[in-house]
Structure 1
Amino acid sequence: MIVTDPAQPRARDVLWRFGPMVYGPTVLFALGEGAVIPLIPVIAAELGADLATAALVAAALVIGQLCGNIPGGWAVARIGERLTMTFAGILALGGVVALAFAPSLGVFALSIFLIGFCAAAFALARHSFMTTRVPYAFRARALSVLGGTWRLGMFIGPFVAAALLAIFGDEHAAIWFFGACIVATVLLVLLGPDPEKQVAPADPTMSEDTGEAVTGSIPTVERVGVFRTMWRYRRVLSTLGLAAASLAAVRSARQVVLPLWGVSIGLDAQTIALVVGVSGAIDFALFYASGQVMDRFGRLWAALPAMVLMGAGFLALSFTHDLAQSAMWFALFAAVLGVGNGLSSGILLTLGADAAPKADPAPFLGSWRTLTDGGGATAPLLVSAIAAASTLAVATGAMGVVAFLGAALFAVFVPRRSD
């Protein structure tokens, strides 16, 4: 259809070249973070947090990501992807050490915030690189693979955490595993081939005759700040960006709600980690299919089904808390949410790359990721507030409503292909 036969070998060649220098560090970082995320509410509860406070502590991760995008965009535009990732990795390692020795809930939450801050800079560096190096014809597949490498870490990480818990009986073993992953990431970034020198930028004119919808101002070589970029691209950020933020909110709620739900129905940490891991496995299995759908049929065909499915999963889960088989329903709807999230793999990266100026995408991507991470940061706060005022079941149902509203926004604002 959209992708011609000559483009297919080129897509495979580029994706294979990206393996060790782009996807490898992402897998390592995500593997360590994936081992820790399911245990954040558990450790917070051990430090004295109730369910609502544990949700607030878990929200520190996405709040840190939100705050890290603007400095991350500044750093990538000025010192490049490699140095940005190196500095972010070193700073994240300091956050992991603080996490392991946190004497109080406040220090624990600040350490989570710092790790999220560094993760934002790391992710923005890779997003900017892929935006400038990958042609439009197979951009969605390349970015879905990037999202898939993150999902691979999120899939394997909880199983690693469960194994470490079984061996050592201490949640801190997963934290030290995260530290080892960060050390390996920094070494790979520093000692491996520099992707900025290995892969030439894609021709900016390649997308002109592909039917790509033009949004915002005409790209130029002028370098502008993140805040000026926000104003220049205010129309696309306030429409398509709002839809993307709703998807980020639903994804973030999934990461917080599932561990909290397990705690609230009385499951132990190892069982919660296993259920979250199975959900991540389903999520991971669908990442490349999502890119194929987006490249061949358009971005909407990935975004809309994903939002509807996750909305249905949250709403259905909200009615199962007090049932006799609550653990079974928890596992079932965690799997449903994994399917929905997997169907949207790479969509936020792809939509951001589509709308970004070709010559200097980092400031726009900083703005885009600030908006989407704002949605991600809002969701755990919303879950915490509703759970404190009512129940976790009501908060879970509310996120289902958000997902359905987001589906409507995507249906209106995602640009259609004009092939």
Structure 2
Amino acid sequence: MVYAPTVLFALGEGAVIPLIPVIATRLGADVSMAALVASALVIGQLCGNIPAGVLVARIGERFTMVFAGIASVIAGVGMLLAPSLVLFAAAVFLLGFCAAAFGLARHAFMTTRVPPRFRARALSLLGGSFRFGVFIGPFLAAGLIQLTGTEMSSMWVLLACAGVIVPLVLFGPDPEKSNPVLLKPTGAAVAEDSGEVVTGSIPTIDQQGVLRTMWAYRAVLLRLGSSAAALSAVRSARQVILPLWGVSLGLDASTIALVVGVTGAIDFALFYASGQVMDRFGRIWAAMPAMLMMGAGFIALSLTHDLDEATMWFALMAAVLGVGNGLSSGILLTFGADLAPEREPAAFLGSWRTLTDAGGAAAPLIVAAVTAAVSLPLATGVMGAVALLGAAGFVRWTPRYLPKRPV
């Protein structure tokens, strides 16, 4: 009841994501417009985080997930039957909004109910559940497309998964009742912008709302939130840069897909290691190696484009980026849970997830702009520099706002 709905939602979303640009082109979009329609998913998720925080605070995690499941069915039907590109894009946006609500509801549940001593492992497993669904979903969609001969059949995976989630969450055992709310014995966030670490119980203002929460916690959101946004940006850039790099080297589609697929497999295989490291040695010991590895991987890749063995370096650095991304699994969830106030964490988590999603949404735009203005290698190097700056931010601010070792 904790992880199964997450896997189901990610399966449905993962089945649809690769087909969004294809369906958009069938509805009359050119390449650039298809990319814009695909970005509506990220924009919907970005816009949905803060309203989702309000929803969780008012009706609870369980009913927020039910709401997200029902709305996902509506989004799936909209994408399946949309007669125009505008309505299809609106349905994609709604699916992104549902993803934000579903993800934040489960994040808030884990934040308030998982003991701190194994919180990172639990949240890494939650992140791994999302990754598993997104990894397997396209294969389910491919099988259906092979059987039916139409890419629209991928929507049935989304509808089936969302259709199972709603009764499962609504009528299954309620984990909110079987798992009591736990108050953290120590805290790292600040109730007022004093710049000092608060230990012991954290004084909070009950029902203070999203905007007041953002203002009260502006210091930690600006400092550690910026580093978290940098990590999210580097993750997002990896998904854009690797395919473009393969194309720029003149590799065929199957070779690019193989390299990206192996990278994704490495990424998925390592998701639990991050939680082990964070729980045993401290949060910084997972964040730092992941950021340094991805930063070094991007910078090294940016220097290999014109070498004789450029293809070999491409595959090698893609693997390095996969390892770094795998080691970062659950980090953003765990930092958000550690920093959230004991009471009413949903509003803070909505603000935190908005920052991280903004970093992920900005990265493709940065890569596209720098590539258009100068070159892809420079854009790759820029993202490497962003990773190193994020690593520096984690080193500077993590000891101030979080304990050096897990509780």
TM-score normalised by structure 2 residue count: 0.85
Counterparts of 1:20-419 in structure 2, within 5 Å, are 21-44=1-24, 47-50=28-31, 53-168=33-148, 170-202=150-182, 204=183, 206-208=184-186, 213-217=188-192, 218-220=202-204, 222-258=206-242, 267-268=252-253, 275-318=259-302, 332-415=316-399, 417-418=403-404
Residues 175-212 of structure 1: CA distance to partner in whole angstroms, max 9, x if unpaired?
3322322222223212221111121111x2x523xxx5
State the distance in 1 between where 2:396 and 2:102 align: 31
State the distance in 2 between where 1:161 and 1:280 align: 18
Counterparts of 1:6-17 in structure 2, within 5 Å, are none
Q: Structure 2 vs 1, CA of residues 104 and 337 (structure 1 numbering), >3 Å: closer, same or farther?
A: farther
Q: Structure 2 vs 1, CA of residues 325 and 177 (structure 1 numbering), >3 Å: closer, same or farther?
A: farther
**3-state SS, counterpart of residue 358 of structure 1:** coil
Structure 2: any 5+ residue segments left out of the alignment?
193-201
The 8 Å contact of residues 144 and 347 in structure 1, kept in 2 or not, is answered as: yes
Q: Structure 2 vs 1, CA of residues 309 and 418 (structure 1 numbering), >3 Å: closer, same or farther?
A: closer
Q: Structure 2 vs 1, CA of residues 102 and 171 (structure 1 numbering), >3 Å: closer, same or farther?
A: same
Residues 9-28 of structure 1: CA distance to partner in whole angstroms, max 9, x if unpaired?
xxxxxxxxxxxx11101011
Cα deviation for residue 244 of structure 1 reads: 0.6
State the distance in 1 between where 2:309 and 2:328 align: 30
The 8 Å contact of residues 313 and 400 in structure 1, kept in 2 or not, is answered as: yes
The 8 Å contact of residues 55 and 383 in structure 1, kept in 2 or not, is answered as: no
The alignment-based identity, stated in percent, is 66
Residues 112-148 of structure 1: CA distance to partner in whole angstroms, max 9, x if unpaired?
2221111001011011111110121111111111111
Give the letter aligned to residue 27 of structure 1.
V
State the distance in 1 between where 2:306 and 2:25 align: 21
Cα deviation for residue 311 of structure 1 reads: 2.4
State the distance in 2 between where 1:235 and 1:273 align: 42
State the distance in 2 between where 1:58 and 1:390 align: 25
State the distance in 1 between where 2:91 and 2:256 align: 22
State the distance in 1 between where 2:22 and 2:15 align: 13
The 8 Å contact of residues 189 and 340 in structure 2, kept in 1 or not, is answered as: no
The 8 Å contact of residues 311 and 399 in structure 1, kept in 2 or not, is answered as: yes
State the distance in 2 between where 1:146 and 1:224 align: 28
Cα deviation for residue 45 of structure 1 reads: 5.5
Q: Structure 2 vs 1, CA of residues 115 and 35 (structure 1 numbering), >3 Å: closer, same or farther?
A: same
State the distance in 1 between where 2:39 and 2:270 align: 26
Deviates more, 1:94-103 or 1:301-310: 94-103
Give the letter aligned to residue 394 of structure 2.
F
TM-score normalised by structure 1 residue count: 0.83
Structure 1: any 5+ residue segments left out of the alignment?
1-20
Counterpart of 2:196 in structure 1 is: none
Cα deviation for residue 353 of structure 1 reads: 0.9
Say how many residue pairs are matched. Answer: 392
State the distance in 1 between where 2:83 and 2:205 align: 49
Q: Structure 2 vs 1, CA of residues 320 and 105 (structure 1 numbering), >3 Å: closer, same or farther?
A: farther
Cα deviation for residue 173 of structure 1 reads: 3.1
Cα deviation for residue 348 of structure 1 reads: 0.7
Deviates more, 1:174-183 or 1:71-80: 174-183
Give the letter aligned to residue 185 of structure 2.
S
Give the letter aligned to residue 71 of structure 2.
L
The 8 Å contact of residues 189 and 217 in structure 2, kept in 1 or not, is answered as: no
**3-state SS, counterpart of residue 22 of structure 1:** coil
Give the letter aligned to residue 200 of structure 1.
P
State the distance in 2 between where 1:389 and 1:113 align: 29
Give the letter aligned to residue 49 of structure 1.
D
Cα deviation for residue 257 of structure 1 reads: 3.9
Cα deviation for residue 279 of structure 1 reads: 2.8
**3-state SS, counterpart of residue 3 of structure 2:** helix
The 8 Å contact of residues 55 and 260 in structure 1, kept in 2 or not, is answered as: no
Aligned-pair RMSD on alpha carbons? Answer: 2.9
Cα deviation for residue 85 of structure 1 reads: 0.9
Cα deviation for residue 80 of structure 1 reads: 0.8
